[in-house]
Amino acid sequence: MAGVAIVGIVSVTASKSSHGDGETSMTGIVILMTAMAFAGAMFITEEKILKGNVLDPLYVVGFEGLWGCCVFAVLLPIF
């Protein structure tokens, strides 16, 4: 959280000192905070789903990577 706060503060102060558009900086900060919320929700959901299951950690990480590659193989050309 401290890193995100520092990035936000520097972004806002840099846009004010360069007389740039502060709206662009705020849009970036909002996108960053939204991404952090989604990442946090993903970790919490993972913990709730896998709670009580005994799985090999390397298997879980590998499976997550496989699904990530599959999803981004579809989404990357679209975006």
User: In degrees, to the nearest 5, what angle opens at C-alpha 15 toward C-alphas 20 and 36?
Assistant: 125
CA 39/CA 64 separation, integer angstroms: 14
What does DSSP assign to residue 55? -
Band the pLDDT of 65: cuts 50, 70, 90: very high
Neighbours of 4 (CB within 10 A): 13
Q: What 3-state DSSP class applies to 20?
A: coil
**Tens-place pLDDT, residues 15-50:** 666 555 556 667 777 888 888 899 999 889 988 988
Model pTM? 0.55
Q: Which domain holds residue 67?
A: 2-78
Split into its structural domains, the chain has a count of 1
CA atoms within 13 A on the CB side of 38: 6
CA 38/CA 21 separation, integer angstroms: 27
